[in-house]
Structure 1
Amino acid sequence: MQTVFLVLLLIAAVVAANAVYARFNKIPAAFLQIAAGLALAFTPLYHNFELEPEVFLFVIISVLMFNDGQNTNSRKLGRHFKTTLSLAVALALITILLVGSLTHYLLPQFSLALALALGAIITPTDAVAVSSITKNVKVPTVVMETLENESLFNDASGIVAFNLAIATVMTGRFSLLHGIGNFGYVFFGGILFGLVLGFLIVAGRISLINMHVDAPSVIVPYTLLTPFVVYLLAEAIGVSGILAVVATGLLHGIQADRLRLTTSRLQIVTTTTWSVLASILNGIVFVLLGVSLPRVVERLSQRNTHSIELLVGVGAILYLLMTVARFLWTRFDLAPIRAWNPCEKTTNALIMALSGVHGTITLAMAFSLPLTLNGQAFPYRNDVIFIAAVVILISLIIPTFILPLALPSNQQTISDTQLTDAKAAMVNYAMTLIQACHGNNPLTSQVVMLLDSQRTLAGRPDKAQLSNLFDQAYAVEAQVIEEMVAHAELDANLAERYLRIASETRIRNQQSLSQRLRLFLKFLLLGKFSLSKRARQRRRAFHQYRKQAASHSAFEHASGWSELRTVEKPPYRAVLEFLRTTTTADNQQAVAIVRRAYDERHRRLSGARDDLPGQNNLLIEAFQLEYNFIQQQAYPAELSNQLYTQISTDQLVYLQSFDPE
């Protein structure tokens, strides 16, 4: 139970670091996650915390490698296959040998096998870390594609070499011919086994979909279990579980492309699940570095006062060696990257060298070193982890400062006006065809209204502007209700109940946590509704109301449902008129969000939500039409991708918000 609690705290630290990064993204997320881990390290709970080494390969690395595989563009991989193979296999193996030999020379106490294991640990690159560093600069497309493909397979090369080196350390025996043969069997056997098993798993998934057993509750767990099953079976027959997982992931990526439009909801749920899972696992590794680093430094300090300075120097030298090797390898076309002239070739080689950022896989392999050897503590485990940490930090820091000087800023090539016009044309196309095919009926009108809101709901609204609009809309409702009571058109008790519903709408949609808390406390304790007479009566009425209502949609189950439907129409029309007259070019997005909240409440009160199944079917058809529209246009790739992203976001919002289940 304690281990579960500690893991949950690690996840919480990742979430906290990611939340900070969302607001202050000038600092790479990895640094924030390490800082979160350092904060945990000083709590008593983590003083003796250790995760079993097998956990990293099985639970973390296998899942991340599978996700990388299924997100790899197979066409781009095929186009750069020769370069990828050269970097991910040939250069990786040569780098491991160079790093191992130099480490053994600089640190004679390291056996050659352990030094080679260190080389295998720090050789793999991390494309995710590169992307976070280069988000503000324009990296040549061909270079970025090469980096992404390389990181997928040199991770696997490093892991295979790491396993062979650790096996040598554990047994004390190594044969060159046997080692080469074993590497070939483990490497290529893993790929072949992964392709075969991946084909069977993909075929099984397609069969489930063809039999209409394609609910997310079935397919998503099926996919999540895939890397674990493939890894265990591959390791059981002695081939690389990691390479098998990568090969299976590539097949899943090809299948995902085919299913992109035919199973919209399933693809959205699957993509979102994997994105969140990969983000959490990547973050956990860096948080663990922060948790472990103080204890590693403490143990190194106790052993020798100069150990830390020596290991920092070794880490810096090894990073320099790997960077120079990457530069020379690409500059002299041992891994050819398309360039028009020698100057561009040198620039590409420099970017490739500096972008050899090390991250999650390096850390995970370092942490997967055995804890013991022949009943004793594994020799120099802390040294290896510390050197790996130094290499990672240097590889993150140096390109963060140098690449912006060597590359142009990443300026947006698609203007906001172009995106807005294209989005409007796309939505108009879908609305026109939906109305033409299904006529003008209430259900079609609802769908058309939702589609129309796509044009203004993209991006982040101004929080203060949005909160102010919700406050003003509530004031309009309250004024209409007051007038109805004054003209004896409405009972005072029913009016107060309605205003509680209106206030609940305002509280739910406040964007600021402090605003929501302030309004909720006012609602709960003071009950400042214009029709109430005494605070005690307000509190009593509130508690009675809460007993009668459900937690999420209170007013749907309150007594007097039919009466509330009648009450709601005049204030709803007044709010719509207020929003219409208030709309300007500056607040159009905020107005659309307020309008959507009131439309949804109106549908629930009026009973229009009974048509949800039909509405969902029309929405799916409309999104398909929008996809078709983009494919018919000659839009630039960047604009098309932004429109595809907008459609995916709308699918996630609308099909979850209006899911009848």
Structure 2
Amino acid sequence: MTTTFFFLIILIGVIAAVIVNRHFPIIPLPLWFILMGLIVSILPMYHNYIFDPNLFLFFIVTPLLYNESQSASRYWIGRGAINIASLSVALVLVTVVLVGAALHLLFPFLPFALALALCAVVTPTDASAVSAFAQPNPDFQIPFTILQNESLFNDASGFVAFDLSLLAFTTGTFSANAAVGKFIFEFIGGLLVGVLIGFLFHYLRRLLILGDDDSPFVMLSLELIVPFLVYFIAEQYELSGILAVVAAGLVQGRENDSLQLISSRMQLVRSNVWEIVEEALTGLVFVLLGISLPTIVIQIVTKHPGLLGLLLLISVVLYGLKFGLRLLWSRYLVWMHVSSNHRWQDSWLMAVSGASGTISLSLAFLLPALGNKQLPIDRNALIFIVAVVIMISLTVAAIIVPKMTKVTKSSVEKPISQWTREMIMTAMNTVRGDKDHPAEAQIVVDALSQQLHQNKISHRRERRRIFDLADATERTAIAGMHDRGEITDDEFNYYTEFLDLCISTVDTNPWHNLMLRIRFSIHTGRLYQDVQSGQDMFFTTPLIAEQFYWQRQFQAHGEDIRPIEEVGFNAVIDALKDYRHAHGGKTTIELHAVQRTYRERHRRMNMPVPDPKVVYQLFLTAFHAEYEFFQTAISAGKMSVGLAEELQQHIIFDEMAYLQNNNSFIS
């Protein structure tokens, strides 16, 4: 139970960081994760926390790399093989050796092998974190594609170089020939094992699809097993488990490409699950760093007073040397696929985007305790250096990348939010055109209109004020009917009581709603002499139950509430229109809520019972109108394919939500 609660708190920290980052995106998400970790570290149960680095590698890093590799573009990997070899292998090795040697010369107390290991830790790049800062700009599509492919393979190169550096440090000997041979053996062997197991699972999954056994649970469970199994087998033969996982992921990605529209439900579930897993694991890594940092800093200050400033200097020098080497390498030893008029700008972008991230942090946690070696630096100091390098690189990328990728004014498209609003409005207007089925059309229009206000905060007092305005307007209209002799005293009194309950049911007070439920259920049970009817009414929301209740009350006295409600409804709608015009002509979320409440009441009390088949057809009409909207925009050259794909995804998710909840739209 303690362990479960331990990780539950960390997960809450991950969720909080993601939410805060959406409102303050100027600060990189990984830094928010670290900050949440620092906050969590205040709790006593997280003091002096130490975890097993091998389990960390197995359960966190392995699935992250597997998902990253299966999401990579095989086309660009094939075209960019030269760049992958240049950036992911050659640059990693050169950075480890040259920058490691420079660190050893500048800071002699840092052993050469340990300096190499430190450089191996920070060489893997986090393209996903950096791409979140970039604005969509076709001028930099090639550099970001290269960065994505590099990130996939230099993770594995960094792990191999890290292992070799640690081996040299622990044994005290280093042979270039032996190191190169071991590097090639681990590199090639890991790839072969990953490809072999990947194809075996590929064949198994194809058999399951052919046998119609490809349920999302079976297929996804198999896929989640693959990275752990591949890593375990490769490590058993002293090969690179990380490279084996990458290779298996590439094979799996090829299978996903070939499936296309086959087993589409499984693919949709799979992509959603992996997205959640990746974000949760990435957040977990950085939150753990935030939790560990206070303990690390305290131990450094306690054991080595005055060392903290030197460690900060080492971090800055390490980042600067790595950045300079990467800049020159990107300029002269990277093929950009197409000619570029801003070659140095591309190189600066690639250098800045070479930020360290999740994998570097994972490697840092794998650093072993230095044991009995008499050194003025220990494992905590090394982790601190890596953490500072990560924060520097992410901060620099967060500041510079958005400015470098900023599109010019002439090429800016309308934001996706505006396109989405226009698309939904088009669908609503199309459905409103159906005059033969007003009740069903109103249901569809109300459902669509909610999307226009879903990201806005509703102010309860303002909504209540508009409800009071509507209520006062309706009471005045009904009083006028009574004064003119259009309704009897009983009808006026009953309808006034009906309005009292109407405005009362708007209140979300749980105790008040419970009392209303009891009242309506008892009345209905007595009316129909049926316990089941009373029970059904109890579980009906008071807002709806109250309308049924008064319809039956009027019927019991030989009267009809519907003509009175019609007059009151029309008066309210006219008053709300005047309110909207008096407040800038826009429908606020509060106004929309009031309008929808009265429209639903009017539909239930004055319109025919909606036909589910017609509602279904009108939803199809709405979705079709949305498809036609963005197809027309593409044909006219007003919208990019990328934006169209986002809108299409929006419609697809809406269709799925309707299919899964279609009964809830008719009430």
Judge same fold: TM > 0.5, yes or no: yes
CA distance 1:638–1:3, change in 2 (3 Å): farther
Identify which range, 468-477 or 113-122, moves more after superposition.
Answer: 468-477
Counterpart residue number, 1:345: 343
1:164 deviates by 3.0
Q: Name the SS of the counterpart of 2:660 in structure 1.
A: coil
RMSD of Structure 2 on Structure 1 (CA) = 5.1
1:10-45 deviation line (CA, Å, top 9, x unaligned): 211122222222222222222222222222223322
Counterpart residue number, 1:224: 224
Tell me if the contact between 1:230 and 1:245 (Cα under 8 Å) persists in the aligned partners.
yes
Distance across 1 between alignment mates of 2:312 and 2:235? 35
Counterpart residue number, 1:51: 51
CA distance 1:612–1:4, change in 2 (3 Å): farther
CA distance 1:270–1:609, change in 2 (3 Å): farther
Tell me if the contact between 2:30 and 2:283 (Cα under 8 Å) persists in the aligned partners.
yes
2:510 pairs with 1:524: yes
Identify which range, 222-231 or 256-265, moves more after superposition.
Answer: 256-265
1:71 deviates by 2.7
CA distance 1:122–1:646, change in 2 (3 Å): same
Distance across 1 between alignment mates of 2:357 and 2:159? 14
Tell me if the contact between 1:121 and 1:365 (Cα under 8 Å) persists in the aligned partners.
yes
Tell me if the contact between 1:616 and 1:655 (Cα under 8 Å) persists in the aligned partners.
no
Identify which range, 313-322 or 172-181, moves more after superposition.
Answer: 172-181
Counterpart residue number, 2:558: none
CA distance 1:131–1:492, change in 2 (3 Å): same
Q: Name the SS of the counterpart of 2:656 in structure 1.
A: helix
1:444-523 alignment to 2 at 5 Å?
453=448, 457=451, 461-464=455-458, 472=466, 488=491, 499=502, 503=506, 520=508, 523=509
Tell me if the contact between 2:521 and 2:538 (Cα under 8 Å) persists in the aligned partners.
no
Q: Name the SS of the counterpart of 1:305 in structure 2.
A: coil
Distance across 1 between alignment mates of 2:13 and 2:258? 37
Counterpart residue number, 2:526: none
Distance across 1 between alignment mates of 2:37 and 2:225? 28
Counterpart residue number, 1:356: 354
Counterpart residue number, 2:129: 129
Identify which range, 46-55 or 367-376, moves more after superposition.
Answer: 367-376
Give the letter for the 1:24 counterpart.
Answer: F
Counterpart residue number, 1:509: none
Distance across 2 between alignment mates of 1:565 and 1:654? 35
Identify which range, 72-81 or 586-595, moves more after superposition.
Answer: 586-595
Distance across 2 between alignment mates of 1:601 and 1:237? 71
Give the letter for the 1:351 counterpart.
Answer: L
Distance across 2 between alignment mates of 1:264 and 1:490? 59
1:495 deviates by 5.0
Tell me if the contact between 2:416 and 2:643 (Cα under 8 Å) persists in the aligned partners.
no
1:9 deviates by 1.5
Distance across 2 between alignment mates of 1:230 and 1:627? 46
1:30-69 alignment to 2 at 5 Å?
30-69=30-69
2:368 pairs with 1:367: no
Distance across 1 between alignment mates of 2:515 and 2:421? 53
Distance across 2 between alignment mates of 1:410 and 1:61? 39
Counterpart residue number, 2:318: 318
CA distance 1:219–1:59, change in 2 (3 Å): same
Distance across 2 between alignment mates of 1:573 and 1:78? 66
Tell me if the contact between 1:426 and 1:626 (Cα under 8 Å) persists in the aligned partners.
no
Unaligned runs of 5+ in 2: 479-486, 523-533, 554-560
Identify which range, 618-627 or 37-46, moves more after superposition.
Answer: 618-627
Q: Name the SS of the counterpart of 2:25 in structure 1.
A: coil
1:560-571 alignment to 2 at 5 Å?
none
Counterpart residue number, 2:531: none
Counterpart residue number, 2:394: 396
CA distance 1:598–1:325, change in 2 (3 Å): farther
Q: Name the SS of the counterpart of 2:640 in structure 1.
A: helix
1:137-156 deviation line (CA, Å, top 9, x unaligned): 98722212222221111112
Distance across 2 between alignment mates of 1:347 and 1:310? 33
1:362 deviates by 0.7
Give the letter for the 2:52 counterpart.
Answer: E
1:288-303 alignment to 2 at 5 Å?
288-303=288-303
Q: Name the SS of the counterpart of 1:385 in structure 2.
A: helix
1:629-659 deviation line (CA, Å, top 9, x unaligned): 7499547696332232233234334523552
Distance across 2 between alignment mates of 1:488 and 1:429? 37
1:430-445 alignment to 2 at 5 Å?
none
1:256-267 alignment to 2 at 5 Å?
256-257=256-257, 266-267=266-267
1:334 deviates by 4.4
Counterpart residue number, 1:29: 29
2:640 pairs with 1:639: yes
Q: Name the SS of the counterpart of 1:96 in structure 2.
A: helix
State which structure, 1 or 2, has the greater radius of gyration over its C-alpha atoms. 2
Q: Name the SS of the counterpart of 2:50 in structure 1.
A: coil
Give the letter for the 1:45 counterpart.
Answer: M
Counterpart residue number, 1:13: 13
1:611-645 deviation line (CA, Å, top 9, x unaligned): 59995998699579949974995476963322322
CA distance 1:480–1:649, change in 2 (3 Å): same
Give the letter for the 1:413 counterpart.
Answer: V
Tell me if the contact between 1:60 and 1:281 (Cα under 8 Å) persists in the aligned partners.
yes
1:264 deviates by 5.8
Q: Name the SS of the counterpart of 1:59 in structure 2.
A: helix
Identify which range, 43-52 or 375-384, moves more after superposition.
Answer: 375-384
Distance across 2 between alignment mates of 1:358 and 1:20? 22
Distance across 1 between alignment mates of 2:600 and 2:284? 39
Give the letter for the 1:391 counterpart.
Answer: V
1:338 deviates by 3.8
CA distance 1:190–1:374, change in 2 (3 Å): farther
Q: Name the SS of the counterpart of 2:132 in structure 1.
A: helix
Distance across 2 between alignment mates of 1:71 and 1:608? 48
Distance across 2 between alignment mates of 1:260 and 1:206? 13
1:581-636 deviation line (CA, Å, top 9, x unaligned): 88889646857788888899999999989959995998699579949974995476
1:51-100 deviation line (CA, Å, top 9, x unaligned): 21013211221122122223323333333332232111111111111232
Give the letter for the 1:49 counterpart.
Answer: Y
Give the letter for the 1:639 counterpart.
Answer: S
Identify which range, 276-285 or 552-561, moves more after superposition.
Answer: 552-561
Give the letter for the 2:644 counterpart.
Answer: L
1:111-150 alignment to 2 at 5 Å?
111-135=111-135, 140-150=140-150
Counterpart residue number, 2:89: 89
Counterpart residue number, 1:413: 412
Give the letter for the 1:25 counterpart.
Answer: P
CA distance 1:401–1:264, change in 2 (3 Å): same
CA distance 1:178–1:43, change in 2 (3 Å): same
> Of the candidates 359, 383, 386, which is equivalent to residue 385 of structure 1?
383
Tell me if the contact between 1:117 and 1:161 (Cα under 8 Å) persists in the aligned partners.
yes
Distance across 1 between alignment mates of 2:147 and 2:131? 10
Tell me if the contact between 2:327 and 2:350 (Cα under 8 Å) persists in the aligned partners.
yes
Distance across 2 between alignment mates of 1:179 and 1:565? 86
Give the letter for the 1:67 counterpart.
Answer: N
1:341-362 deviation line (CA, Å, top 9, x unaligned): 4xx2222112211221111111
Q: Name the SS of the counterpart of 1:72 in structure 2.
A: coil
Identify which range, 229-238 or 208-217, moves more after superposition.
Answer: 208-217
Q: Name the SS of the counterpart of 1:463 in structure 2.
A: coil
Distance across 2 between alignment mates of 1:162 and 1:551? 67
CA distance 1:290–1:328, change in 2 (3 Å): same
Identify which range, 396-405 or 58-67, moves more after superposition.
Answer: 396-405
